[in-house]
Structure 1
Amino acid sequence: MKAGLFLGLLALGSPAFPESVIITADRMVDVVSGRMVAKPVIVVVDGRIVSVDGSGAPADAKRIDLAGLTLLPGLIDMHTHLTSDPRIGRIDRFLKTDGYWTLVGAANAEAMLRVGFTTVRNLGSGRLDDVALKQAIDDGRIPGPRIVPATHALGATGGHCDNNWLPPSLAQKAAGVADGPEALRAKVREARKFGAEVIKTCATGGVFSRNTEVGQQQQREEELRAIAEEARMWGLTTAAHAHGTEGIKAAIRAGITTIEHASLIDDEGIRLAKERGTFLSMDIYNTEFTQAEGRKYGVLEDNLRKDREVAEAQRINFRKAHEAGVKMVFGSDAGVMPHDQAPRQFAVMVRYGMTPLEAIRAATLNAAEALAKSADLGRIAPGRFADMVAVRGDPLADVTELERVAVVIKGGVVVADVRLDVTGR
């Protein structure tokens, strides 16, 4: 077992938390005010924060001393694929048994927790693996972040979220594929029935699919509106994979919560997103892995071509949308690159116009709002889950500190601590 990873795991099958904990550190980032708070004393009872000034601390509370470290809220990645690994080539994937991918997901969930992501949104899972992982993590059986699962991604026949890699004699239709508003409403209900907490749909073509182009709209606005309305009625948020200009705008007008990728968004799309409070989740780091390593792992030239075509355009549009005041969340598309590389996106977000604080807010305050979970996540504040990360330096001055997380706390329990030696002592 890696150093300190499972320090907080209690008896298998029990997600219980210590009754009370006091956490101290040298500094704490208040993501709301943007200020650094000196010497926080965070009181945690039953996994939630009671105070940040030491008030209300039980006399018998366990103490966690993070001397010399800076605390931030636990990070939230809004676009992950836990059951994917880009280092497994397309042909090799056909050689794996179905259950293999659940185990891949367990390893990737652990990796994301270790680097500081205490909550992830998993946008699409072939066999409901994201629900299985969530259940096992919540039950305390395996380590991992809080998971917001989407189950099957919805999409059009032959589109980005369909299975287009097999010949007609072996043709398979992806579980979330449907055509027409009423059929898609039924798919929303089915996804929720089996555990979805967010509905993901594919409004345009994509980089890593076959026989689709990134700019190509694949769902009509009335189909996207049916998905958004049905999800909202059931109390769910929505996410639309949308690289192409017209698909992005159709998804925004339809009332989708977050637009994923948004690579080719134009000025009208930026205006619409700002007016309607739509969040953009733009994965502006992972192209570096794809272009450097993709060919080695069997990514086809057609997919590499599409990645090149959108890479810089997406980054330029990220800058434009941010400057216009559009609400942005952190979404890495982990699974397109190795999951432990997700924190590298913070530096790219700063390179393309954000301040370190704005990049941190994208993965905390903004992400919690987009998840409709602001009462639980996104801040170190009373009432929220006691999910935190600690770094050695000042992330408001150098956002790359988030690439070197020292301690991860989930629900008031230390679940990773790189300061410990390999024995976990």
Structure 2
Amino acid sequence: MKLLAAILAIAILPLTAAAQDDTTIIHAGWLLAVPGDAPAENQSIVIVGERVDRVEDGFIELDGAEIIDLSDHYVLPGLIDSHVHLQGELNPNRRLQSVTYSAADWAIAGVRNARTTLMAGFTTVQDVGGNLEAIVALRDGQRRGDIIGPRMRVAGSSVTPTGGHGDINGFNNDLMHLFASPSACNGPDDCRRAVRELIRARVDLIKITATGGVLSQTAAGTEQQFFDDELASIVESARMMGRYVTAHAHGVTGVNAALEAGVHSIEHGTYLDDQSIRLFRDNGAYLVPTILAGVTVAEIAENSEWMTPEVRQKSMEVGPAMLAMARRAHEGGVQIAFGTDSGVSRHGDNAREFSLLVQAGMTPMEAITSATVIASEHLMMADDIGTIESGKYADIIAVSANPLDDVSVLETVDFVMQGGEVFSN
């Protein structure tokens, strides 16, 4: 038996040494490995390849392992933004860009914004609306390692009623026929077609515009725009092909109709009511409140002249209502997943949403949990991201002060690792 044990030990040695060649150890002075649980001090995160191998007490060292010293930093999981638009950013030329940019132009803009987002500490995002060809190429390019950016789940173009928030609006009729959304649909059968065509193009989820929106160039309000049978057909078609549906919805009629149809989540939710809160809880649906987007459009409406009258009016009405909405949802026990609508706000400023969530009544820990544990569950990626635990991707950030004392410190991230690779240190 002793001889057998000796032979096995010799056989194992080369494998252990080989593993250490691809091993990195982070010495974390303060570690919030699982947001929602208490943080720990003086921890070692052992990373093998792109995933976390284990977390140990104290500062350990292994022969051949690279050591990253974050002993004077506050370390936590990479952040997740559940609502971004990487291909653009709200600006005075946005309407012109919508009819002059090609898919290639949108993809190139997305490369820049993806890098900015990663450097801000957001290692995973869900992109919920944009040029289909461009965003699929951007996602695939990041997965191949061709570009630097967060890992992405993408929806492509929004499924919208013709003339709805996700369709083109406010141009000459000839232009609108040329640039109409390929995912615009009318009636249950046509909406099934729109969903299936998006899935054929390899999107990860289906995004719908269940109500009017703030930035669409039309005075169509912010209430329900799909008929109930259209909503039901969209949700059913997506489920049959392994996708969930998330719904842009401001007005309460659209919020409740989408929840009753079985959507996975509501983006914005500005005018939700008590019935909405019951539906969220009964269905296990998520709210992505995007308070920062509301603050941003309200600021622009007050200080710039380039918004059209329709957009300006909606911006000044809807934007200021979103903070109170988030407070009401939080008090009602709704699952809140962090999301910013960046692209309306500036890319890289995503972490401003944390302070707004705290203003809405969340604790700093709850706000951080919404951007890690809860967001990973919302994106159906909890086996891979959201915490620093064995087997998960080594998506790790660090800041210079305690985010549980002042959550705004997350607006300045000192260290970013994604999948075991350091991008900012």
TM-score (norm 1): 0.89
Residue 52 of structure 1 and its aligned partner are, at CA, apart by: 1.1
Distance 1:297 1:26 in 2: 49
Q: Secondary structure at the match of 2:397?
A: strand
Find the counterpart in structure 1 of residue 417 from structure 2: 409
- Please state if 1:46 is matched with 2:53: no
Q: Secondary structure at the match of 2:349?
A: helix
Q: Secondary structure at the match of 1:76?
A: strand
Q: Secondary structure at the match of 1:340?
A: coil
Distance 1:309 1:145 in 2: 33
Distance 1:76 1:40 in 2: 23
Find the counterpart in structure 1 of residue 113 from structure 2: 108
Find the counterpart in structure 1 of residue 65 from structure 2: 61
Find the counterpart in structure 2 of residue 379 from structure 1: 387
Which among 301, 320, 325 is matched to residue 328 of structure 2?
A: 320
- Please state if 1:236 is matched with 2:243: yes
Checking the alignment, whether the CA contact within 8 Å between 1:72 and 1:380 is kept in structure 2 is yes
Distance 2:33 2:363 in 1: 15
Once the two structures are overlaid, the 10-residue window that deviates more, 408-417 or 309-318, is 309-318
- Please state if 1:394 is matched with 2:402: yes
Checking the alignment, whether the CA contact within 8 Å between 2:30 and 2:42 is kept in structure 1 is yes
Q: Alpha carbon RMSD of aligned pairs, Å?
A: 1.9
Which among 197, 214, 232 is matched to residue 190 of structure 1?
A: 197
Once the two structures are overlaid, the 10-residue window that deviates more, 240-249 or 283-292, is 283-292
Once the two structures are overlaid, the 10-residue window that deviates more, 47-56 or 203-212, is 47-56
Distance 2:305 2:126 in 1: 25
- Please state if 1:248 is matched with 2:251: no
- Please state if 1:277 is matched with 2:281: no
Q: Secondary structure at the match of 1:40?
A: strand
- Please state if 1:220 is matched with 2:223: no
Which among 330, 335, 341 is matched to residue 349 of structure 2?
A: 341
Name stretches of at least 5 consecutive residues in structure 1 with no aligned partner.
1-17, 418-425
Residue 32 of structure 1 and its aligned partner are, at CA, apart by: 4.4
Residue 287 of structure 1 and its aligned partner are, at CA, apart by: 3.0
Distance 1:324 1:96 in 2: 43
Distance 1:236 1:91 in 2: 31
Q: Secondary structure at the match of 1:368?
A: helix
Amino acid at match of 2:392: R
Residues 121-153 of structure 1 deviation map (CA, whole Å, 9 limit, x = unaligned): 000122421111111111111110001011121
Find the counterpart in structure 2 of residue 143 from structure 1: 148
Which among 120, 123, 145 is matched to residue 125 of structure 2?
A: 120
Once the two structures are overlaid, the 10-residue window that deviates more, 365-374 or 289-298, is 289-298
Distance 1:118 1:389 in 2: 9
Once the two structures are overlaid, the 10-residue window that deviates more, 167-176 or 289-298, is 289-298
Find the counterpart in structure 1 of residue 82 from structure 2: 78
Distance 2:356 2:371 in 1: 14
Which among 113, 132, 138 is matched to residue 137 of structure 2?
A: 132
Amino acid at match of 1:262: G
Residues 297-328 of structure 1 deviation map (CA, whole Å, 9 limit, x = unaligned): 72223212101111232221211110111100
Q: Which has the larger radius of gyration?
A: 2
Checking the alignment, whether the CA contact within 8 Å between 2:42 and 2:57 is kept in structure 1 is no
Distance 1:301 1:207 in 2: 11
Name stretches of at least 5 consecutive residues in structure 2 with no aligned partner.
1-20
Q: Secondary structure at the match of 1:241?
A: strand
Find the counterpart in structure 1 of residue 39 from structure 2: 36
Q: Secondary structure at the match of 1:308?
A: helix
Residue 86 of structure 1 and its aligned partner are, at CA, apart by: 1.2
Once the two structures are overlaid, the 10-residue window that deviates more, 221-230 or 158-167, is 221-230
Checking the alignment, whether the CA contact within 8 Å between 1:28 and 1:36 is kept in structure 2 is yes
Once the two structures are overlaid, the 10-residue window that deviates more, 250-259 or 44-53, is 44-53
Amino acid at match of 1:366: I
Checking the alignment, whether the CA contact within 8 Å between 1:71 and 1:391 is kept in structure 2 is yes
Q: Secondary structure at the match of 1:334?
A: coil
Q: Secondary structure at the match of 2:350?
A: helix
TM-score (norm 2): 0.89
Checking the alignment, whether the CA contact within 8 Å between 2:281 and 2:333 is kept in structure 1 is yes
Distance 1:113 1:90 in 2: 24
Checking the alignment, whether the CA contact within 8 Å between 2:45 and 2:54 is kept in structure 1 is yes
- Please state if 1:173 is matched with 2:176: no
Which among 286, 290, 315 is matched to residue 293 of structure 2?
A: 286
Checking the alignment, whether the CA contact within 8 Å between 1:206 and 1:212 is kept in structure 2 is no
Greater share of residues in helix: 2
Amino acid at match of 2:217: R
- Please state if 1:154 is matched with 2:159: yes
Residue 244 of structure 1 and its aligned partner are, at CA, apart by: 0.8
Residue 58 of structure 1 and its aligned partner are, at CA, apart by: 6.5
Amino acid at match of 1:124: G
Find the counterpart in structure 2 of residue 13 from structure 1: none
Checking the alignment, whether the CA contact within 8 Å between 1:43 and 1:57 is kept in structure 2 is no
Which among 27, 34, 37 is matched to residue 30 of structure 2?
A: 27
Q: Secondary structure at the match of 1:113?
A: helix
Residue 57 of structure 1 and its aligned partner are, at CA, apart by: 8.4
Distance 1:20 1:83 in 2: 35
Find the counterpart in structure 1 of residue 310 from structure 2: 302
| Structure with more relative contact order (C-alpha pairs < 8 Å, separation 6 or more) | 1
Percent identity over paired residues: 36
